[in-house]
Structure 1
Amino acid sequence: MAKRRIAFYFMTIPALVLFFLFHTFPALQGIFYSFTNWNGYSDAFDFVGFKNFANIFKDENVIHSYGFTFKYALLMTILTNVISLLIAVGLNAKIKFKNFFRGVYFLPNILSVLIVGFIFNYLFANVFPVWGEKLGSELFSQNILGNQTWAWTGIVIVAVWQGIAFNTILYLAGLQTIPQDLYEASSLDGAGKLREFWSITFPLLASFFTINMVLAMKNGLMVFDQIVALTGGGPGRATQSIAYLIYTGGFQGGEFAYQSANAVIYFILIVAISVLQLKFLQKREMDL
């Protein structure tokens, strides 16, 4: 027993030390610097208290980034879960080559976000405009990523296309837990497919729906890689997310302390939104 306990400590302590050094300690440093005016590269800095936090709420650039991020995250979360749920239900039906299609739908999840973004960047710039011209569409005959009004839709399309893969797999796993006897009984009672979905499938997938909604919203709020690969926050600042603003302002704009304060506020918001989602959706699970 003693040897087993020693072996346990040898396996866990190095992991805990590494986690603290490369995750917890930098996070604590960021919180510390958020109360200073440090620019990220000089040796001198002064404590400014809550000044950085107060200025965040007066910064139009920050407010615009929050607005874009929340709009993107909300739409991406809804579309990803609706489409992935429909795909999962379809794949769970008795169709040929079911396993093949499951593999195809999961493929986007194993690809790098940056690689996917660069591929779609090429498609938006060179392929889709050609199709738009042939269809006679003025909007789609141009690169929408260069359109200040519609650039955000291109980012949503890419994020939804890639996000569907993981959510579909989770919904498929949930569908395997539903007893087929329930569907047979409902069929004998004359229930249609739509009635079966709302009365059996969706209520029994409630816990999986909760997980997917929380994870999708969290990923949407932390959007960064898609912005880097597709628009770089442009055109202008139309698609500048909070994560991208924190990165560019903190590491390239000499606003390290200011953006550290922004990061602290955003961390609190993400945690609060996730907790509210869990409470609301778990309450819904019990009501179903």
Structure 2
Amino acid sequence: MNTVLETKKAKLKSVTTKKTRMKKILSYLAFVGPALIFFIVIQIIPFFMGVYYSFTSWNGISSATEWVGLENYKKIFTNDERFFDSFMFTTKFMFAAVLISNIIGFSFALLLNSALKTRNLLRTAFFIPNVIGGLLLGFIWQFIFVRGFSAIGEMTNISFFQQAWLGDAQTAFWGIVIVFAWQISGYMMVIYIAALQGVDTSLLEAARIDGASTFTTLRKIIIPLILPAFTICFFLTISMAFKIFDLNLSLTGGGPFNSTQSVAINIYQEAFTNNNYGLGSAKSILFFVVVAIFTTLQVMLTKRKEVEA
């Protein structure tokens, strides 16, 4: 009799456990399912379609696609100097933009983490440029560079404002860097502030009591403790700088004479202006691989520094 009762209890417990597990699975699917479906439809499927089209000569319009194998990739490496020029510009821009954006963002974070009465207002003011769309921001700064700076230059005769900021390759490069840093620094500032607020204040007080200077405290205590924030910010700024499109398009359009053409604009023109969708897809796949390598190496290096610290 006891054996029968124990068997029934075990079966009931098994059924209850299965129902509970099923409810958990259904609840997970309810929350994760829609996002996963959108991710697959918007990201994964187009990516693999792009990989397929990179081996074809499709023009983006006709229904017929001709398989050409590695021909598009050979053409990029043997007969497309403009693509490599745009890649060199984008790489140079990435290094400058990442360095300047993170320096400004971290400096703002240090300033606004202190006991300033207006710190909430300043945080909002510094973050607002990140909310403005890239195209709109580019056209605003185009007006500033072309009309605003020239007007100030005429009134003050300061050579800095009298330059053709978007008409010369060198100044146009730095113009794009300035606008990118102005837009993204506020976002980096928020991440750094969140990290700084997690630093144990007792460590800072102990360092002050021991006579450590502000710079020593920053270098020896604060920066090592918030290295994960640097990892995140470097990753975000590297990927954003590599993929720059809207700011570049609205500020210079790749000019003068394609000297400030980013890789994203080059791919866009190849696929949608020249109707070489296959070649454009091949360029985008190569670009994806390069960005993945850069960001992976950066994360590995900064993660190693975190462990060492």
Same fold (TM over 0.5): yes
Work out which of the residue numbers 143, 147, 150 in structure 1 matches 2:171. Answer: 150
Q: Within the alignment, does 1:90 sit opposite 2:95 as a pair?
A: no
Q: Is it true that 1:55 corresponds to 2:89 in the alignment? A: no
User: Separation in 2 of the partners of 1:3 and 1:189?
Assistant: 57
Give me the whole-angstrom Cα distance separating, in 2, the residues matched to 1:40 and 1:69.
Answer: 26
Distance 1:17 1:87, change over 3 A: closer
Q: 2:62 aligns with which of 42, 48, 55?
A: 42
- 2:293 alignment partner, one of 241, 263, 272: 272
Report deviation, 1:16: 2.9
Q: Which moved more, 1:127-136 or 1:9-18?
A: 9-18
Separation (CA, whole Å) in 1 of partners of 2:129 and 2:43: 28
User: Are residue 188 (structure 1) and residue 209 (structure 2) matched?
Assistant: yes
Unaligned runs of 5+ in 2: 1-19
* Selected match of 1:20 from 40, 43, 47: 40
Contact 1:39-1:254 within 8 A present in 2 as well: yes
CA distance in 1, matches of 2:178, 2:113: 25
Write out aligned runs for 1:1-288 (5 A).
1=20, 2-3=22-23, 5-58=25-78, 59-138=80-159, 140-288=161-309
Superposed displacement of residue 113, structure 1? 1.5
Q: Hey, what's the Cα distance between the residues in 2 that align with 1:136 and 1:9? A: 65
Give the percent of matched residue pairs that are identical in Structure 1 and Structure 2.
33
Root-mean-square deviation (CA, aligned residues, Å) is 1.6
Return the letter of the residue paired with 2:196: L
DSSP-derived class of the 2:166 partner? helix
Deviations along 1:76-125, one digit per CA (max 9) or x if unpaired, are: 00000111111111111222222221121111122212211111111111
Structure 1 window deviating more from structure 2 (128-137 vs 245-254): it is 128-137
Q: 1:280 to 1:146 in 2, by over 3 A?
A: same
C-alpha deviation, 1:42, in angstroms: 2.2
Q: Secondary structure at the match of 2:161?
A: coil
Runs of 4+ more than 4 Å apart: none
User: What is aligned with 2:7?
Assistant: none
- Quote the Cα distance in structure 1 between the aligned partners of 2:231 and 2:153: 38
Cα 1:262–1:183 shift into 2, 3 Å: same
Q: Is the 8 A contact 2:164 2:171 kept in 1?
A: no
CA deviation digits over 1:162-203, x for unaligned, max 9?
110110000000001111111111111111111111111111
- On the 8 A contact 2:60/2:277 being kept in 1, the answer is yes
TM-score normalised to structure 2 length: 0.89
Q: How many residues align?
A: 288
Is residue 125–residue 142 contact of structure 1 (8 Å, CA) maintained in 2? no
The alpha-carbon deviation at position 256 of structure 1 amounts to: 0.8
The CA deviation at 1:15 is 3.5
Deviation at 1:139? 5.3
* In 2, Cα distance between equivalents of 1:14 and 1:98: 39
**What amino acid is the match of 1:232?**
G
Provide the rounded CA distance (Å) in 1 between the counterparts of 2:29 and 2:220. 49
The answer (yes or no) to whether the contact 1:87–1:168 under 8 Å persists in 2 is yes
2:232 and 2:266 map into 1 onto residues whose CA distance is 28
Q: What is the CA–CA distance in structure 1 between the aligned matches of 2:190 and 2:177, rounded to whole Å?
A: 20
Q: What's the offset of the Cα at 1:155?
A: 0.7
The alpha carbon displacement at 1:132 in A equals 2.4
Q: Distance in 2 between matches of 1:229 and 1:78?
A: 23
SS in 1 for 2:259: coil
Cα deviation, residue 242, structure 1: 0.5
- Alpha-carbon displacement from aligned partner over 1:38-82 (angstroms, at most 9, x marks no partner): 111123332111111122122110010000000111100000011
Unaligned runs of 5+ in 1: none
